[in-house]
Amino acid sequence: MDFELIILQAGAERAAAERFALMEERMANFDALLAALPTWKDDLAEKIAEVSRDSRTKTEALAIKADLMDQSMKAEKTTTRERLDTLTALAKAATEARAAVAERVDAQESHLRTLEVTSNVRINELDMASKRHEEGVDANTRHVTELGVKAGMARIDIEALRERTAHLEVGF
pLDDT of 49 reads 87
Distances (CA, A) of 171 to 6, 108, 168: 217, 89, 5
CA dist list (Å): 126 to 114, 118, 123, 138, 139:
18, 12, 5, 18, 19
pLDDT at position 35 is 75
Q: Give Cα separations from 151 to 114, 146, 157 (angstroms).
A: 53, 8, 9
- The reported pLDDT for the residue numbered 3 is 63
> How many angstroms separate the CA atoms of 98 and 90, rounded?
12
Going from the C-alpha of 125 to that of each of 77, 90, 114, 117, 118, the distances in angstroms are 70, 51, 16, 12, 10
Measured CA to CA in angstroms, residue 110 lies from 97, 98, 101 at distances of 20, 18, 14
pLDDT at 163: 85
Beta strand spans in 29-109 (E):
none
Instruction: Supply angle C-alpha 83, 87, 91, rounded to 5.
Output: 170
The pLDDT score that the predictor gives to residue 23 is: 85
pLDDT at residue 171, as a whole number:
64
pLDDT along the chain (172 residues), means of 10: 69 78 83 72 82 90 91 94 95 95 95 95 94 93 92 90 82 61
